Structure 1
Amino acid sequence: MLSLALPALVVLAAEPLYLLVDTAVIGNLGTVPLAGLAVGGGLLAWAAALLNFLAYGTTARAARRAGAGDRAGAVAEGVQATWLALGLGVGVLAAFQLLAGPLTRLLAGGGGAVAEAGEQWLRIASLGAPLLLVSLAGNGWLRGVQELRRPVRFVLAGSLASLVLCPLLVHTAGLGLPGSAVANVVGQGLTAALFVRALVREGADWRPRLRSVRAQLVLGRDLLLRAAVLQVAFLVAAGVAARAGAAELGAHQIALQLFFFLALVLDAYAIAAQTLVGHALGAGRVAEARLTAVRVARWGLLTGIGVGALLLALRGLLVPLFTGDPAVREQAELVWWFLAGFQPLAGVVFALDGVLMGAGDVGYLRTVTIGAAVVGFLPLSLLAGPLDLGLAGIWTGLTLFIALRLVGVLVRVAGNRWLTAPATVGA
């Protein structure tokens, strides 16, 4: 499990780590560029997270095929997922080019400097949407065949390119916030090209097969709906933070990027569990799948405790790295307690999410996630404005969201129904 989790950790952490550096680089330009990045980056992240089934759904399907001894079928899943990613990516690009202005103004609470900065960033960064989705599909099939070292090289190459270009374009070349978007697109292009080359070297048949794409969409349907509700909840929270003030929005951006970064770090166990459970159930080894669930939950809990303790210990050092604005620092220190406090819960939740995805039990995951968002996250976020709860109200809602999901996945994994979930592998 650890041999799969460690490479997955590098892949998962590379992009959000770049975004953290990007946030720090832009944060030193001032509050308005940072808030603009929060608006534009939040919209692009929303689209990527919404379509993340291209990675997780492809992993589940490819792992089942690989577990049954059909590597060619697993690679074929990657080809069809790549075609699907290109089609969806072009659609996302077109939508953002048409609607960047209205969307950023809506999220920023009207016109003004923040909305203008967010629109400028989003119009450039959205050019990388098809490239980003192709990389998600590539990660999916390679995880499914238990090859996680190549994705490490591919993702690191793109992230390092962006990492070098970002400060050069933003500060040295004087492009400011648009320089960040350009660096993003260049890195995504390099990573996508490497994933496509990996498929070409497999000698796969590149003809689009509508039946296979349709089968992937059936599996992706529940993951898509789950992601849609989740991302709407995060967008609502960002909108409430934007209306509270630029300092609150800037602090929310810093804490949220850290949350996403740490979520993906903890998700390394989920990737390992998804691959191992898919292989085990594909080969009919039910006891092995259950043992994987127990082990991955234990590792998720212990890692979450360690991450939370580290966040608290380094709070005084980390917060100043992202902003020199005293008002933003004050708000960031407030939400830091929430961020550190729920890490142990999140470690178990994300790990067991991977178990259920590997088993194909995505319908249950959809229901639990939507229920937790509707009952916990959304109400407290919406009430934070009229009740003047500020970021404390928003992040209390996020904590409750994690806690409710924890109860749901623990109850499911303790039973047997997830072991007989549909394989969802089509021709």
Structure 2
Amino acid sequence: MLGQTTVPLVGMVDTIVVGRTGDAAALAGVALGTTVVNFLFWSFGFLRMGMTGMTAQAQGAGDAEEVRAMLLRGLALGFGLGVVLFALQLLLVPLAFALLAGGGALDAAASGYVGGRFFGAPASLGVFALNGWLLGLGRTRAALLLQIAMNLVNAVLDLWFVWGLGLGARGVGLGTACAEWSALLLGIFLALRILGPGALGGLSARLFDRDTLRRLFAVNADIMVRTVALLVLFGWFANAGARLGEVPLAANHVLMQFVSVSAFVLDGFAFTAESRIGEAIGRGARTELLRATRLTGEFTLAAGAAFALLIHLDGVPLIAAVTDHPEVRAHAVALLPFAALVPLVGAPAWLLDGVFIGATAGRSLRNAAVAATLLYLATDLLLRPWGAVGMWAALLASYAYRAAGLGLALPRLVRSVGEPLAEAPREA
């Protein structure tokens, strides 16, 4: 949970540094640019999620050689895809902006931010793989150290580039990119220390095992479709704010920082579920799977309710701390009750994501995400006459749709695990 608390601080620092300049266009530009970067970078989020489940299952099965091979596969795949993404930015970024309702100064600020972030594309995807591997092994302290280091570098460089050098939104993007490169180098160092000297030698045959690679790409393809579907959902939400103007878009971005913090902290329970359930499936232990699901579910729901209460009670001063633009503040305060409900309504979906990622049940994740996105789009169109209120109501409904889809698939997942449920002893 501590490690996850630091993840959204990258976006929070970016938002505060620009938000305190009083430039609504720059803040809205970072919001729009963040949507573009998240869509393009997190399309490869399977590098984190697929790595966690498969590493945990190899660990549960006692296959130390496969654990080591997973690290090399993940790093090579992440870095290679990041290089391709960097090379294709001249094609992908204009296309992304063409699909979003920006224009004028908003697009200029967003383009500067995105251009800066793309320098970190190979490192960002490499860190996805490293985080997935560390979480799969249950090495949460190493993952925490990685995130803290990245956030510290990001905060220092953001302040220097924006307030010191006056680089604006582009400086925010460059600061985050440099922080991602520092995190990649630190993550490789930590992984090598965990494995010990010479641990990566003699793995060439295992690295290119055909059956393992086929399974890796099959799981990752399903997770990639799932991720893209959810990115479409959140991209649609951001575009709905942009359609209403700079101030509503900036206000939504401020509120989404609170949502992000709560979501990432609650993901700490989901990551615990990923690791424990992956190990349980590796051992064929159905009772362990059920126990991990129940315990992480109870904690997730309790924490979701606590976050909802915290945002509702302390949201107004937090909004004032993030931005000093009076119109943005007023708009954000009016929509605060909806943002406060997200941790509570979204908790079941986030927890079930962890369960199915740990099980590498990519097909169920894909189907639930696609169905939830389609239902969300229909709901948003239906509620569009309600303006910003309808937009946030549709977002809340999307979490319920996703939880329902995964909940329906849960009994089948439980039945698929080898160990039968313990039966009560019969009376003599």
TM-score, normalisation: structure 2: 0.90
Letter in 1 for 2:353: D
1:86 aligns with one of 48, 69, 79: 79
Question: Do the aligned residues in 1 keep the contact of 2:46 with 2:224 (CA within 8 Å)?
Answer: yes
CA–CA distance in 1 between the matches of 2:97 and 2:20? 22
1:20-73 CA deviation, whole Å, 9 max, x = no partner?
Answer: 121011112210100110111111112232211111101110111100111221
How far apart are residue 380 of structure 1 and its match? Answer: 3.4
How far apart are residue 18 of structure 1 and its match? Answer: 2.2
Task: Report the equivalent of 1:28.
Answer: 20
1:293-325 CA deviation, whole Å, 9 max, x = no partner?
Answer: 111111111000000000011022111122222
Task: Report the equivalent of 2:137.
Answer: 145
Counterpart check, 1:192 vs 2:203: no
**1:274-423 aligned within 5 A:** 274-375=274-375, 377-383=376-382, 387=385, 389-413=386-410, 415-420=411-416
Letter in 2 for 1:259: V
Question: Do the aligned residues in 2 keep the contact of 1:301 with 1:345 (CA within 8 Å)?
Answer: no
Question: Do the aligned residues in 1 keep the contact of 2:259 with 2:342 (CA within 8 Å)?
Answer: no
Task: Report the equivalent of 2:58.
Answer: 65
Change (3 A) 1:23 1:65: same
| Structure 2 alignment gaps of length 5 or more | 419-428
CA–CA distance in 2 between the matches of 1:93 and 1:336? 37
Change (3 A) 1:48 1:264: farther
CA–CA distance in 2 between the matches of 1:210 and 1:123? 38
Counterpart check, 1:158 vs 2:154: no
How far apart are residue 74 of structure 1 and its match? Answer: 1.2
Counterpart check, 1:95 vs 2:88: yes
Question: Do the aligned residues in 1 keep the contact of 2:127 with 2:187 (CA within 8 Å)?
Answer: yes
Secondary structure of 1:192's aligned partner: helix
CA–CA distance in 1 between the matches of 2:91 and 2:82? 14
Question: Do the aligned residues in 2 keep the contact of 1:359 with 1:418 (CA within 8 Å)?
Answer: no
Task: Report the equivalent of 1:266.
Answer: 266
Task: Report the equivalent of 2:241.
Answer: 241
Task: Report the equivalent of 1:6.
Answer: none
CA–CA distance in 1 between the matches of 2:5 and 2:43? 18
How far apart are residue 142 of structure 1 and its match? Answer: 1.5
Select the structure of larger CA radius of gyration: 2
Question: Do the aligned residues in 2 keep the contact of 1:75 with 1:199 (CA within 8 Å)?
Answer: no
CA–CA distance in 2 between the matches of 1:130 and 1:217? 19
Letter in 1 for 2:74: A
Secondary structure of 2:119's aligned partner: helix
CA–CA distance in 1 between the matches of 2:178 and 2:243? 33
CA–CA distance in 1 between the matches of 2:200 and 2:30? 39
Counterpart check, 1:174 vs 2:173: no
Question: Do the aligned residues in 1 keep the contact of 2:251 with 2:329 (CA within 8 Å)?
Answer: yes
Question: Do the aligned residues in 1 keep the contact of 2:47 with 2:129 (CA within 8 Å)?
Answer: yes
CA–CA distance in 2 between the matches of 1:307 and 1:301? 10
Task: Report the equivalent of 1:216.
Answer: 216
Letter in 1 for 2:62: G
How far apart are residue 102 of structure 1 and its match? Answer: 4.5
Change (3 A) 1:182 1:321: same
Question: Do the aligned residues in 1 keep the contact of 2:276 with 2:289 (CA within 8 Å)?
Answer: yes
Q: CA RMSD in A?
A: 2.0
TM-score, normalisation: structure 1: 0.90
CA–CA distance in 1 between the matches of 2:64 and 2:354? 21
**1:30-69 aligned within 5 A:** 30-69=23-62
Question: Do the aligned residues in 1 keep the contact of 2:270 with 2:350 (CA within 8 Å)?
Answer: yes
Alignment: residue pair count: 409
CA–CA distance in 2 between the matches of 1:347 and 1:218? 27
CA–CA distance in 2 between the matches of 1:347 and 1:99? 33
CA–CA distance in 2 between the matches of 1:210 and 1:185? 34
2:67 aligns with one of 74, 78, 91: 74
Question: Do the aligned residues in 1 keep the contact of 2:259 with 2:343 (CA within 8 Å)?
Answer: no
Question: Do the aligned residues in 2 keep the contact of 1:80 with 1:213 (CA within 8 Å)?
Answer: no
Task: Report the equivalent of 2:112.
Answer: 120
1:138-187 CA deviation, whole Å, 9 max, x = no partner?
Answer: 11112122212112112211211111221122112222222211210111
Task: Report the equivalent of 2:426.
Answer: none
Question: Do the aligned residues in 2 keep the contact of 1:79 with 1:199 (CA within 8 Å)?
Answer: no
1:307-350 CA deviation, whole Å, 9 max, x = no partner?
Answer: 00000110221111222222212221233211112322322221
Question: Do the aligned residues in 1 keep the contact of 2:383 with 2:394 (CA within 8 Å)?
Answer: no
How far apart are residue 223 of structure 1 and its match? Answer: 0.8
Letter in 2 for 1:404: Y
Secondary structure of 1:174's aligned partner: coil
Letter in 2 for 1:408: G
Tell me which moved more, 341-350 or 123-132.
Answer: 341-350
Secondary structure of 1:342's aligned partner: helix
CA–CA distance in 2 between the matches of 1:417 and 1:158? 36
